[in-house]
Structure 1
């Protein structure tokens, strides 16, 4: 089930809100949220809900052992066991086929692929569980002795399958002591409707441009179409993922939770370093706090620092998918961040802001070219990048009108416009006496979203495969 489905919008969400708010007891409300979160998760993959429950039980039990034997060698043993368990679980389902394919290629073997379906959200909920275990071991949080509370933290449906990656410490007290107010509910509803609009009215519509052009084959696109497809993909993935994050944060607020912000207008960045402070903030901060800093961060000698940076960005690439294009994508950012840290940032700071933005935007788009080329062959990635510089101009026999994209271009233009922080100014304009007009616009957008969802069945979330 996805947030932008008619089933969720017209059946699931109204039902869970009704049952939640007619229940006055906190424990009962948590039980309702937990049960509906499991229903939400099992809607498409009922088998893997058992895996999710098993993971909760094991981490809960060993978490108690870590706390019970704190100060002894057993604590470290239980901690290591849990880390290995969680990483192995994620690695088995996400990377075993990738490993088999590469073993077959390197050693000329014929090992059968396991063809395992990737459990939805496993990358997200595993990292959330790891944050609980690591912070517990570091004695930064208290052990959760109520299995329902820990289970609710892991399964809470607004953030379960696509984040944000909310750390246990962020909502530890809200699991028991949160306060649901009308103001918070209304603010959450507005945020949810904003995210739904971004997803349905921009990301979904722009995705038709990406699909129409990619179906032609990269070798049949001239430089104009190649850049159009790349820009459309950049807008699609931003509004798709940030729209989901907005919906998740809004839903959390409707139930009394305050989730981590995940995006901050990444396409206004003036460097690659700045971009990764603004894009998927919950993931980049997770790797910073649980991998980069424990390895020594930048407080070590230069070779070790480079290794730390390399490790983080290799893992970041692999987190996004079991394919060499994601590994190369991670390496791409590693190289830029390394160069910026060593010299580029000092040079950039002396240049005009417009030039800084052009530099960052150009290389962010090239990064998306690597990301969107779903392949294990580096030559395919090179071919995609070559197309951006006119390598296949002579092969292109299609025109703009042949692809029936004219009705989707206005949505792309809107996406480009709202990639910049104009909404902040709109919020200030509508604040106060104009809020009724703002809410009327949101209601109209919601009605339009329902209409588009009824007539257009294409409604994926790109980050589902991660």
Structure 2
């Protein structure tokens, strides 16, 4: 069950909200959220529900031990075991097949890889648990004493599948006590509809355009198709993932739980470093605050730290070589910008920096798309015309012409247009009333259009649900 399923929108969510708001106190409301979150997770794949509960139980106990032991060897040992267990859990389910496949290829073996399956949201909830243990160890937060409240934090359905990576300290107070006002419901519902429209109306439509540009065989695509297809795919990824994040943040707000922002109009960036300060921000802050904290990373080893961060970023996204290459690709440009320094970067004309970043992003998202090594290298060759295909084909122009309004809308709304309109409206007499009225009407139209599109098409899962 996805956020963009009609079953979720018109059955699961209304039932959950009804049960939640008829509950009289916070204990019953938390119970409702926990039950519905576990149902949501089990709906995805009930086989892995016990795994989620056991992971929560182990980390719950480990945090209590960390608090009890304080500083010292015992606390460090508990922390190390907890992190190893979390990473081991992620490694076994996500990377076993990848490791065996590469061992077979390297040594000409035929070891059978176990078909374990990938637990829903494991990449996200393991990082959430690791951040919890580290924050307790560093005394940034107190451990949660109530296991069921902690399990609710781990399993909350708005963020279980694809984030944001919500830290316990960010939501601790709201787990124990919270109030939901009309402003929360209004803002939450608007955010949900906005995210739904991003996914169903824009991202899923861009996915069809991307497929038509790349064709059935990437090695046969023209140079223009490779470049434009990768650019469209970058937009698709943005609207798909930011759409999910919008829905997650909106859903959490309906229940009075504050979630951190995950996107800040990343295509406004003038450098690759700035892009990663605006894209998947909770993942970036996780690596910054937890991985870079490791004591071996002093000033003399910052480049080792940089390599490890971007290697880890690539590996976290998927068990395939293209993700590793993708992470190191962006890491190389971060390193380049670091070596140039802020003063030199400021001297580069802004238009040149925009062109540079967009070219790097197009290539980077193309690398991200193709998991098969043969297709990845065919794409890279295609960018510079080494596949022997023409620079341009009429089919590319035809595809763009048929989707011109879609592409223009995607480009327009990848920038803060709504925020600009809201800011201008606030300066006019009765502008706020007019803006709020227009927002309500526009939201209802988007909900109707998205719902009709869902009725007439099969459900497409969010792309990051696969990670």
Q: Indicate whether the TM-score tops 0.5.
A: yes
Other-structure match for 2:455: 454
Other-structure match for 1:442: 443
Other-structure match for 2:420: 425
Aligned CA RMSD, in angstroms, stands at: 1.9
Other-structure match for 2:311: 314
Cα distance, 1:256 vs structure 2: 0.2
Other-structure match for 1:185: 185
Describe the superposition over 1:209-256 as per-residue Cα deviations: whole angstroms up to 9, x where unpaired.
Answer: 122233431122112222221111001000000010011111111110
Aligned equivalents of 1:352 and 1:433: distance in 2?
Answer: 41
Aligned equivalents of 1:35 and 1:103: distance in 2?
Answer: 42
Cα distance, 1:42 vs structure 2: 1.1
Report how many residues are paired: 461
Match of 2:346 among 334, 345, 349: 349
Cα distance, 1:71 vs structure 2: 3.5
Cα distance, 1:155 vs structure 2: 0.6
**Pair 1:14–1:407, CA change in 2 (3 A):** farther
Q: Is the 8 Å Cα contact of residues 56 and 151 (structure 1) preserved in structure 2?
A: yes
Q: Does 1:324 align with 2:325?
A: no
Query: Residue 287 of structure 1: SS of its match in structure 2?
Result: helix
Q: Does 1:27 align with 2:60?
A: no
Aligned equivalents of 1:393 and 1:184: distance in 2?
Answer: 56
Q: Is the 8 Å Cα contact of residues 267 and 275 (structure 2) preserved in structure 1?
A: yes
Query: Residue 159 of structure 1: SS of its match in structure 2?
Result: helix
Aligned equivalents of 1:448 and 1:245: distance in 2?
Answer: 20
Cα distance, 1:138 vs structure 2: 1.1
Structure 2 unpaired stretches of 5+: 427-431
Query: Residue 299 of structure 2: SS of its match in structure 1?
Result: coil
Other-structure match for 1:387: 382
**Pair 1:295–1:313, CA change in 2 (3 A):** farther
Q: Does 1:284 align with 2:284?
A: yes
1:265-280 → structure 2 map (5 Å cutoff): 265-280=265-280
Describe the superposition over 1:415-457 as per-residue Cα deviations: whole angstroms up to 9, x where unpaired.
Answer: 1111122121122345521111211111011000001111121
Query: Residue 43 of structure 1: SS of its match in structure 2?
Result: helix
Cα distance, 1:344 vs structure 2: 5.9
Cα distance, 1:385 vs structure 2: 1.8
Q: Whose helix fraction is larger, Structure 1's or Structure 2's?
A: 2
Describe the superposition over 1:162-197 as per-residue Cα deviations: whole angstroms up to 9, x where unpaired.
Answer: 100010110011101222111111111111111111
Q: Is the 8 Å Cα contact of residues 225 and 392 (structure 2) preserved in structure 1?
A: no
Aligned equivalents of 2:349 and 2:326: distance in 1?
Answer: 28
**Pair 1:422–1:187, CA change in 2 (3 A):** same
Other-structure match for 1:52: 52
**Pair 1:72–1:51, CA change in 2 (3 A):** same
Query: Residue 172 of structure 1: SS of its match in structure 2?
Result: helix
Other-structure match for 1:300: 299
Aligned equivalents of 2:34 and 2:345: distance in 1?
Answer: 49
Farther off after superposition, 98-107 or 314-323:
98-107
Aligned equivalents of 1:98 and 1:352: distance in 2?
Answer: 43
Describe the superposition over 1:389-412 as per-residue Cα deviations: whole angstroms up to 9, x where unpaired.
Answer: 333464699742898775444222
Aligned equivalents of 1:30 and 1:197: distance in 2?
Answer: 29
Aligned equivalents of 2:188 and 2:258: distance in 1?
Answer: 10
Aligned equivalents of 1:389 and 1:404: distance in 2?
Answer: 21
1:197-346 → structure 2 map (5 Å cutoff): 197-295=197-295, 299-301=298-300, 304-343=301-340, 345-346=342-343
1:69-218 → structure 2 map (5 Å cutoff): 69-218=69-218
**Pair 1:465–1:391, CA change in 2 (3 A):** same
**Pair 1:10–1:346, CA change in 2 (3 A):** same
**Pair 1:269–1:280, CA change in 2 (3 A):** same
Q: Is the 8 Å Cα contact of residues 224 and 391 (structure 2) preserved in structure 1?
A: no
Cα distance, 1:382 vs structure 2: 3.0
**Pair 1:187–1:215, CA change in 2 (3 A):** same
Other-structure match for 2:464: 463
Query: Residue 46 of structure 1: SS of its match in structure 2?
Result: helix
Q: Is the 8 Å Cα contact of residues 69 and 75 (structure 2) preserved in structure 1?
A: yes
Q: Does 1:372 align with 2:373?
A: no
Q: Is the 8 Å Cα contact of residues 197 and 447 (structure 2) preserved in structure 1?
A: yes
Q: Is the 8 Å Cα contact of residues 430 and 438 (structure 1) preserved in structure 2?
A: no
